[in-house]
Amino acid sequence: MTALDETAIGGLGASRRRVEDARFVRGRGHYVDDIHLPGMLHMEILRSPLAHARIVSIDTSKAWEIPGVRLVLTGEMMAQRNLAWMPTLSYDTQAVLATDKVRFQGQEVCVVVADDPYIAKDGCEAIVVEYEALPAIVNPEQAAAPDAPVIRDDKEGQTDNTCYRWAVGDAAATERAFAQADVVSSLKLHYPRSHPSPIECCGSIADYDAGTGKLTVYMTTQAPHIIRAAVALVAELPEHMIRIVSPDIGGGFGNKVPIYPGYVAGILASILLGKPVKWIEDKSGNLSSTGFGRDMYLDAQMALRSDGKILAVRMHAVTDQGAFFADAQPSKFKVGLLHSAFACYDVPVGLITAEGQYTNKAPGGVAYRCSFRVTEAMFFQERMVAAAAADLGIDAAEIRRRNLLTDDRFPHRTAFGFLVDSGQYHKCLDLGLDAIGYEEFKRDQVAARERGRLLGIGISTMTEPLGAGNSREYDILGIKMFDSAELRVHMTGKAILRTGAKTQGQGHETTWAQIVSHELGIPADDVIVEEGDTDTAPFGMGTYASRSTPVAGAAVAMVARKVRAKARKLAAHLLEVSEEDVEWELGRFYVRGAPERGATIQECAAAAYSNMPDGMEPGLENNAYYDPPNLTWPFAVYIVTVEVDPETGVWDVLRVVAVDDCGVRINPMIVEGQIMGGLTEAYAMANMQFQTYDADGNQVGSNYMDYLLPTAWETPGFELHEVVTPCPHHPIGAKGVGECAAVGGPAAFVNAVHDALASTGVRNIDMPVLPDRVWQALQDGRDVSGAPPVRSDS
Ligand code: CDP
């Protein structure tokens, strides 16, 4: 016997078909809304029509009269149970149901529980709420004005609308570097509000069993254990009497990390009624009230030498947080990982200052397919580099070549404190430029311009810090960020693996089994993966920020190694040799010097239950908690070519080339799927997703006619390339990848359009780069800002 063929058993590097798709593509997924419990009632939410208003009165009497209505909850009723407000994951508070004021259009005001969802909706319509309108604040500039009404007057000591201030870097050294610059390049940008828009909205079924005192909540959460801790805190229930079950999830993208009022109200309703209460959010509810991303303004300068060498960067970011600071950031970093900007470049010094402002909008800042504001960081970085190249008259590829870290620079400590450990940035850039035919395109572009055609090419590079923690620096609400895996090998050699992560479509059921297969030689088909049930899964921080592979995936490798260590003892016993004389090859142990004498992993598993040595504990299982020593640092280059129609401002994508280095790929097919998905979202953000508010705080783009999701029809084709720089500290050399293309992609599209307009003097059109904005810029050669309008009378 010899070692198994790893690809044949579905191990590392196999493009194994996604096992979860067997149920997903047949419509047999099991989502929250598929769960029907006996006696279950249904909850609907009444939302505020106004962005900012004092609540004068709420009359629920007509709702109570509707047959089938079982409960109407108001903020006052929640307050009687100390549940009108809840803590957020960013040390703020958020109204569960409004008591004093409403602070954004779509805010939760009442809930109605009834025999079916239609009766519950009728109940909501029968509630009469009298509001006294207050002036709405729709952008941070308005929020920071000295006479601005204080949105969060509920908070003791809050006298303005600032919700945080934060700074990182070396102010004095940055000033010195700017004083020595040949050129200072400046740029003001807005990264607009965007919405993750998962296909499945949020929802929950709270099932409080008065007999046992146990609360089970089936819900759409990316982080079940964090929710359990939060429910224990908010509902004051003991943690062991709370079970959170996250079944199949129809996309999360960060939207399903926060704790939403619907979950809390549903739990209280179930406790009060002694029945299961289901809440399934509708599309408008999801699109108007849950977890928005971005909404950040940047005022930035870059100090340069005339040869294009970056000497320093200075960035001031202002975030529009909405009415509650409710997104999850690691506690130390109020503006997420914005300071990962310029991590792939040799930038000696820099200063980032940031402030958050409350506005009359739904809570924002959620890490939409992104590691806590890394998307903004990479977008700003690549727009600034493009602007600097234009200011200096240096080619956009060349300026990157002159500043990207070379391979011999790792490990590299960035100006903002990160340790970037590995990469082959120049190789990736060259591969991308070669693939797109950069020089040839530049020549064609000049010729086309002479004929009045506007062609453009945009480059974006990115390196993203993926895989929070380590626990030294990363925690949420004080809970350290690490992750976990638990592996149980049955006596036939089949296995069950559970982790603290939670897949939302990324394919963990497929790839985790591949890691076990790689470590133990058990065919991947013989390993079932379970996630999302806090009663059975080991404690973990969940899935967001592409942390699954860097952290939980590493825990999977580590637990498999622990199991292999025990299997080695069993093999020694079976082979009647000492453990030191046992060698391992994929799938089997053998006697050193006598390779024909061996025991397969399956034989060892059988022995663990039927023939263990004296004194050995039976069974073959273990668990591992993994605290990564560092983040993982994938790198990517995205290059896009476009043609802009000068008559209409419409721009068409000609080609998209992506070069991704996410270290060792567990499943290349899944990685490619992740990159294509990310590029699709990047294209949508750059091109079409318009999510803003009018001067009264009315949400524009609260439906999918206005807020566009790209279909296969609009989405361009993608040409994918690969470079592999293994992560030096991850047990299998993998780096995260899920978000890379969504993070790095937008700037490539936007830079391409700006390159096409290079001769017009336009320096910046804010995203989304809509045709009318391009057309406007072409008319008057001026920049186009995306900031929401402000009432002229306010
Ligand atoms: O945390 P999340 O699952 O969203 O992101 P990820 O860890 O980057 O993984 C996304 C998917 O790609 C998972 O199925 C991973 O196992 C897979 N992947 C891979 O096959 N190889 C890598 N080097 C990274 C991720």
pLDDT for 792 equals: 46
Q: Please tell me the distance between residue 517's alpha carbon and the centre of ligand 1 in angstroms.
A: 16
User: Helices 508-520 & 554-575, crossing angle to 10 degrees?
Assistant: 30
Pocket of ligand 1 (CB under 6 A): 506-508, 511, 543, 546-549, 553, 662-667, 670-671, 674, 734-738
pLDDT digits (tens, 9 = 90+) for 649-663: 999 999 999 999 999
pLDDT digits (tens, 9 = 90+) for 5-43: 999 999 999 999 999 999 999 999 999 999 999 999 999
The atom number, within ligand 1, closest to the CA of 634 reads 23
Cα–Cα distance, 640 to 432 (Å, whole number) = 10
Q: Please tell me the distance between residue 403's alpha carbon and the centre of ligand 1 in angstroms.
A: 29
pLDDT band at 730 (very low <50, low <70, confident <90, very high): very high
Q: Please tell me the distance between residue 709's alpha carbon and the centre of ligand 1 in angstroms.
A: 23
Lowest mean pLDDT among 399-403, 609-613, 616-620, 786-790: 786-790
Name which residue sits closest to atom 22 of ligand 1, judged by CA: 665
Q: Please tell me the distance between residue 11's alpha carbon and the centre of ligand 1 in angstroms.
A: 15
Q: Please tell me the distance between residue 350's alpha carbon and the centre of ligand 1 in angstroms.
A: 32
pLDDT digits (tens, 9 = 90+) for 514-563: 999 999 999 999 999 999 999 999 999 999 888 999 999 999 999 999 99
Domain ranges of the chain: 21-28+483-626, 32-134+201-249+256-289, 374-465+630-780
pLDDT band at 794 (very low <50, low <70, confident <90, very high): very low
Q: What is the mean pLDDT of residues 267-274?
A: 96
pLDDT for 118 equals: 98
Cα–Cα distance, 365 to 320 (Å, whole number) = 8
Secondary structure of 458-489 as H, E, C letters: EEEEEECCECCCCCCCCEECCEECCEEEEEEE
pLDDT digits (tens, 9 = 90+) for 354-391: 999 999 999 999 999 999 999 999 999 999 999 999 99
The three-state secondary structure class of 40 is coil
Q: Is the pTM of this model over 0.75?
A: yes
Cα–Cα distance, 404 to 651 (Å, whole number) = 30
pLDDT for 790 equals: 52
CA distances from 141 to 145, 155, 292, 320, 788 (A): 6, 21, 19, 9, 10
Say yes or no: do domains 32-134+201-249+256-289 and 374-465+630-780 share a fold.
no
Top mutation candidate among 635, 670, 720, 727 for ligand 1, by most atoms within 8 Å of CB: 670
Fold of 21-28+483-626: Aldehyde Oxidoreductase; domain 4 (3.30.365)
pLDDT digits (tens, 9 = 90+) for 596-639: 999 999 999 999 999 999 999 999 999 999 999 999 999 999 99
pLDDT digits (tens, 9 = 90+) for 465-518: 999 888 889 998 888 999 999 999 999 999 999 999 999 999 999 999 999 999
Cα–Cα distance, 118 to 442 (Å, whole number) = 59
The atom number, within ligand 1, closest to the CA of 740 reads 8
The three-state secondary structure class of 242 is strand
Top mutation candidate among 544, 666, 676 for ligand 1, by most atoms within 8 Å of CB: 666
The atom number, within ligand 1, closest to the CA of 734 reads 23
Q: What is the mean pLDDT of residues 192-220?
A: 96
Name which residue sits closest to atom 2 of ligand 1, judged by CA: 546
Which residues, 6+ apart, have CB-to-CB distance to 313 below 8 Å? 174, 300, 301, 302, 303, 341, 342, 347, 350, 351, 384, 415
The atom number, within ligand 1, closest to the CA of 508 reads 14
Top mutation candidate among 506, 672, 735 for ligand 1, by most atoms within 8 Å of CB: 506
Domain 32-134+201-249+256-289, classified CATH 3.90.1170.50, yes or no: yes
pLDDT digits (tens, 9 = 90+) for 665-691: 999 999 999 999 999 999 999 999 988
Residue 244, beta-bridge partner list:
217
Cα–Cα distance, 590 to 588 (Å, whole number) = 7
User: Sign (positive/negative) of CA torsion 776, 780, 785, 787?
Assistant: negative
Q: Which residues are part of the catalytic machinery?
A: 222, 369-370, 739
> What CATH code is assigned to 374-465+630-780?
3.30.365.10
The atom number, within ligand 1, closest to the CA of 550 reads 7
pLDDT digits (tens, 9 = 90+) for 300-359: 999 999 999 999 999 999 999 999 999 888 888 999 999 999 999 999 999 999 999 999
Q: Is the pLDDT of residue 167 over 60?
A: yes
Q: Please tell me the distance between residue 22's alpha carbon and the centre of ligand 1 in angstroms.
A: 19
pLDDT for 41 equals: 98
pLDDT for 573 equals: 98
Q: How many CA atoms lie within 13 A of 635 on its CB side?
A: 26
Phi, psi of 551 (to 5 degrees): -110, -65
Residue 2: Cβ within 10 Å count? 11
